Amino acid sequence: MNAYAFYLATILIYAAVDAMACLALNTEFGFAGISNFGFIIFQSAGAYTAAVLSMPRAATSNGGFQSYVLGWNLPWPFPWIGAAIVGGLLALPFVFLVGKRLRGDFAAVGLLVSAVLLNVLVKDFVPFLNGAAGVSIVPAPFQSIWNPQGLAYQFAYGGVAIVLTVIVYFLLKRITESPYGRSLRAMRDNDIVADSLGKNLRQNRTSMLVLGGAIAGLSGAILVGFISLWAPGAWGYAETIVFFAAIIVGGAGNHKGAILGAILVPVGFEEITRYIPPLANPSLVPSLQWVAIGLLIVLFLWFRPDGILPERRRILSGTPIPPPPPPTETSEEIDNEVLVKIGNVDELNFRHLLRLKDLKNDGRVILSTRGLTKSFNDVTVVSDVSFDILQGRVTGLIGPNGAGKSTTLAMLAGTLPSSGGTITYEGEDITSLASYKRANRGLVRTFQLASEFKKLTVLENLVSAIPNQSGDSFWGSLQGRRKWGSEDKANIERAEEVLDGFGLAQYADAYAGGLSGGQRRLVEIMRALLAEPKVLLLDEPMAGVHPNLAHKIGDQLTRMARDGMTILMVEHELSLMDAFCDPVIVLAEGRVLAQGTMSELRKNTEVVEAYLVG
Amino acid sequence: MPSFGFGLVTAAVLAIATVGFTMQFAVTNVLNLAYGSIMINSAFVAYYANVHGVTAWASLPFGVVTGSVASYALNRFVFTPFQRRNRAPITVVIVALGVDLIGTFGLQAIVGGSYVSYRQSLGHEYHILGMFLSGLQLIILAISVVVLFTIHWLLRYTRLGKAMRATSANPNLARNSGVKTQFIISTTWLISGALCGLAGVVFAMNTGVFEATSAQLYIVLLLAAMFLGGPGEPYGAMFGALVIGLSTEISAAYVNPQYKEVIAFVVLLGMLTFRPYGIFGSEKTL
C-alpha cells in the first residue's frame, strides 16, 4: 500500500512540474507565437539555480567531491525565488532574436542551437556546475518540517507543486484573456500586421520570454528539490521537443490543453514505458520512446493540428446567432451583393466613432518624402521619390505593376526600411522611426495581401487595433478586469457599430480567416479605421470589394478626409481615383512621373503611355 | 599547420552537406532539421553494404542513393503536403524536428547504440605543405572539390540549374514563365538528397567511429555555415563551410577541443542577430 502511495505522490509531482512547464511554453508558443526551441534551458537554469542556492559551499559539501558555483545554503523559498529570477533573466540575451526583422523559424533555430551549445558548455566546464556528472544531493526544501523519506513529505511536496501550478494557471489566464492577450494572439497570427497597428513586437515577445522563463525556472526548482540531482543528460535539446509534442497533442493556445498534454505526453510516456519488460537491446525502449514522440508530432499536426482541446473561440458580441458557415471559395462578388443591401456604411457617424473630434482640417503638409529610395541589392525599386501629402485630402497613388507603389507605402509606414531619402510626418523626421511607433502616432497602413488575424474573430480583429487600451500592456493585463473591463466593453461596442455599418454584424464572432476575400478587405479597412489614424495609407483597399460598396466606402473616406483625416490610397481601379482622389500621384519605374487631378493626368501623354505600355 | 589540414577536411565534408541543405531551403523555404538524421541513415546503409563485402568506397553509392530517395520522399510525402495546407513555416520546421527524432532513433532502435566503423584503411600518410593528411582525407578532399565544381557547373551552365535558381528566386514567377517548378523542386530534392547521403558517408568515414546519434549536433555546423553565406545561397554555403570548418578545427588546436563548436555557435547567433540574410545574401531572401 505504501509503495503505491509513494508512486502516486511521485506522479503528482511530475505532473505538476510538467504541467507548469507546458503552461509556460504554451503561453509563449500557443498565444504569443514564439517558437522557443530552447525552452528546456530555462527550466534547467531554474533547477541549477535552486540547487546551488540551497546547497552548502562546494568545498565543504560531502568532502568536496562536487564543484559548483555559489553554494549559499539558503532555506526555502529563496532558492525557488532565485530559480524563477534566473529563468526570467536568461531570456534577456535572446531579445535580439525576437524583433521584427527575424523570421520566426530563424529565431527558433537560434534558440535551438543555443540550447545545444549551452548543454555542451555546462557538460564540459566542470567548475561551473560539476560538468557531466551534474549536481547531486540537493537538500530537500522542507526537510526541517517533515522527514523527506516519509509519505507526508511526499504528499506535502506534491501539494505545494500543485498549488503553485494552479497559481501559474490563473496568472497566465489573467494575462491571455485580457486585451493584452488579444494583442499577443494577433502578433502570433500575423506579426508584421500587428506591428503596423502599433504593437511593439520585441517588447511583447521579450515579456513573454521572461515570464515563460521565470515559470520554467520555477518548475525546474520544484523538480530538482524532489529528485535532488540535475545533470546535462536530463536537459538535452530534444527535451524541448517533448514539451512541444505535449502542447501540440493537448492543444496550442488553450491552457487546459497544455495541462492535458503534460499529463499525456511527458508523464504518460514515462510511466507507460515502466511497464514494458526489459528487452534484449537495452536502448530499444528509450529509442522507441523518441520515435513515438516524433510520430505524435507529425501525426497530430496532420490529423488534428489544433490538438485534443483546440483554442477556444472568444465570443465578444451579444449576437447569439451562430455565424453562418463561411464560404470556402473566394466568391467575392456574390457575397458582397448581400453586404450592399445590409450595410449602412453611409449612415455611420465616423467622426464620433473614430474620435476625430480634436482633429482640425487645416490643409497643411502632414506627410512628405524627399528623395525616397529603395534598393534590393543592385535593383532599385523606388528611386528619388519626393512628394507632399496635404492634410484632409484623399491622395491617390497610381502606376503600372512594379512601379514601386506598394514599396513606397511600406517605407512610409516603416514596414520596409528605406535605402535613402527622408520621410517627414507632422514636421518631424521619421525616416528611421520604428513602424509601430509610427502607427501609435497615427500613421496607419493596410496591406495588399490578406492580413487578417486568422484565429481572432472578426470583432477581435477590430478591437485589437484600438490604441491606448489600458488592458493592452503586460502590467495592465495583470491588474485584471477591474482595470480594463468597462473600457473594453465600450471598445467592443464601438467596433460592433462599425461592423454593423459595413454590413458584417452577423460575422462578428466568426474567425476572420474563414471570410471571403472581399469580406477580409473590409475587415482590414475597418480595423485600420479603428486604429484612429491621422494619416491612413491604403494599399488597394477595394480589390475584391463590390463596386457599389466600394463607392459607398469611398464616399465615407472623402467625408472623413473633410473632417481632417488624411488618406493616401494605392488603387488600380481608375474610376475610384476619378471619383475620390485629388490629387493623384503617378509612379512609373520607381519614379514620380506626374502629379495632379485625374482630368489633368488624362491629358498627360506620358502618363497615358506609361499605363498603356507598362 | 596540422589543424589546418583537419580544418580543410572538416570544411570539405561540411561544404557538401551545407550545399545540399541550403538548396533545399532555396527551393522549398524549409529549414530541413531532419537533414542530420538522413545523413546518418545513409552512412549506416553504406556501412551495411560495407559489412556485406562491398569495399568502403564502393559502398558510397549506397549512401548517396539512400540520401537521395529519403530526402525526396521526405519532401514529397511530408513537407509538400503540409505546405499545401498552408501551414506556417514554423509548423513545417516542427514537423522536421519530429521526423529527425523518428529518423535518428528509429535507426538506433534497429542498429542499437554501439559504435561502428567502416572496414577501410586510412591509407598512407602524406606530408603536404606542413599538413599531415591521410590517404582517406585526401580522397575526401578530392570528392568534395569534384562535387562542388559539378554543382557550380550545374547551376551556372545547365538549363536545369537556371530553372533551379529561378524557382528559388520566385517560384510563382518561374512557374508563370514556363518553368516546371514541381519537377524542378523534385529534382532539387533528389540532388540535394544525394549530397546529404554523400556527406553522411564521408562524415562517418572522417569521424572514424560513429553511431546512430553521431550526426545529431551536426545541424549546428550546418546552420552556422548556411547563415554565414546566406540562406538559400549555394556559393555562400561553400564559403560558410570553409570558414566554419577551418575555424572550428583551428580553434580546437588552441583552446579546449571540446569547445570547438562554440565558434560556430557564436557565428550563427551573430549572423541571425545582425545579418540574417548572410554576408552575400540580400534582404529579399527573407
Per-residue pLDDT of B153-167, as tens digits, reads 999 999 999 999 888
Each residue of A496-525: pLDDT tens digit?
988 888 888 888 999 998 888 888 888 999
C-alpha cell, A65: 567531491
Residues whose CB falls within 8 Å of the CB of residue B206, separated by 6 or more in sequence, listed in order = B9, B10, B13, B136, B137, B140
Per-residue b/e over A79-118, b at no fewer than 16 CB within 10 Å? bbbbbbbbbbebbeebebbbbbbbbbbbbbbbbbbbbbbb
C-beta of residue A33 within 8 angstroms of C-beta of residue A188: yes
Whether residue B1 is predicted with pLDDT greater than 70 in this model: the reply is no
Per-residue pLDDT at A464 exceeds 90? yes
Report chain B's mean pLDDT, rounded to a whole number.
89
Chain-chain contact of B105 with A288 (C-beta, under 8 angstroms): yes
Grid cell listed for A360: 482640425
Q: What residues 91-110 of chain A have any CB closer than 8 A to a CB of chain B?
A: 96-97, 101-110
pLDDT bin (cut points 50, 70, 90) of residue A340 is very low
Model confidence at B203: pLDDT above 80: yes
More confident residue, A277 or A566: A566
β pairing state of A584-588 and A394-398: parallel
DSSP bridge partners of A365: A390
What one-letter code names the amino acid at B201? V
Give the number of other CB atoms < 10 A from CB of residue A67: 17
Compare all CA atoms of chain A with the CA of B221 and give the residue at the minimum distance: A113
Rounded distance between C-alpha atoms, residue A27 and residue B47, angstroms: 45
Q: Is the pLDDT of residue A334 over 50?
A: no
Region B48-73: mean pLDDT is: 94
Cα angle, residue B216 at apex, residues B210 and B119 outer, rounded to 5°: 15
| C-beta atoms of B87 and A305 within 8 A | yes
Closest CA to A537 of A461, A417, A435: A435
Per-residue confidence (pLDDT) for residue A259, from 0 to 100: 96
> Does residue A577 register a pLDDT over 60?
yes
Q: How many CB atoms lie within 10 A of CB A371?
A: 12
Q: What percent of chain A has pLDDT over 90?
A: 51
Contact B82 A248 (CB under 8 A): no
- The cell for B93 is 520546421
Mean pLDDT of B37-45: 97
Would you say B102 and A291 are in contact if contact means Cβ atoms under 8 Å apart? yes
What DSSP designation does A233 have? Answer: G
Q: Specify the higher pLDDT residue, A555 or A15.
A: A15
| Assigned C-alpha cell, A545 | 470589394
For B82, which residue in chain A has the nearest alpha carbon? Answer: A302
Going by DSSP bridges, is the β-strand pair A566-570/A394-398 parallel, antiparallel, or unpaired? parallel
Within 8 A by CB and 6+ apart from A46, the residues are: A83, A84, A86, A87, A216, A217, A218, A219, A220, A221, A224
Q: How many CB pairs under 8 A join A and B?
A: 141
User: How many whole angstroms separate alpha carbon B157 and alpha carbon B150?
Assistant: 10
**Rounded distance, CA A611 to CA B42, Å?**
56
Interface test with A, best of B269, B279, B286 (most A CBs within 10 A): B269
pLDDT in tens, A535-573: 999 998 888 788 888 888 888 888 888 888 899 999 888
| Interface touch A301/B87, C-beta < 8 Å | yes
HSE toward the beta carbon, residue B22, CA cutoff 13 A: 33
Give the pLDDT confidence score for residue A564 in this predicted structure.
84
Residues of A in contact with B259 (CB under 8 A): 120-121, 124
- CB contact under 8 Å between B89 and A104, yes or no, is yes
Cell output for A530:
479603428
pLDDT in tens, A354-404: 666 566 777 788 999 999 999 887 788 998 999 999 998 999 999 888 888
pLDDT for the residue A61: 58
A19-33, A34-48, B250-264: range with lowest mean pLDDT: B250-264
Cα dihedral B68, B74, B79, B84 sign: positive
Inter-residue contact A534 to A366 (CB < 8 Å): yes
Q: pLDDT category, A578, cuts 50, 70, 90?
A: confident
Nearest CA in chain A to B262: A117
Better-scored residue on pLDDT, A66 or B8: B8
Q: Which residues pair with A538 in a beta bridge?
A: A569
Binary contact (B105, A108; C-beta < 8 A): no
Cβ distance of A295 and B102 shorter than 8 Å: yes
DSSP 8-state symbol, A497: H
pLDDT in tens, A154-197: 888 999 999 999 999 999 999 999 999 999 999 999 999 999 99
Please tell me the distance from the alpha carbon of residue B20 to that of residue A529, in angstroms, as a whole number: 47
pLDDT at position A563 is 82
ipTM confidence score: 0.92
Chain B contact present for A290, CB below 8 A: yes
Give the mean pLDDT of chain A: 87
Q: Which residue of B has its CA nearest to A118?
A: B262
Q: Do A394 and A542 touch, CB atoms closer than 8 A?
A: no
Are the beta carbons of A124 and B273 separated by less than 8 Å? no
Binning pLDDT at 50, 70 and 90, where does residue A331 land? Answer: very low
Q: At what angle do helices B135-157 and B2-28 cross, to 10 degrees?
A: 30
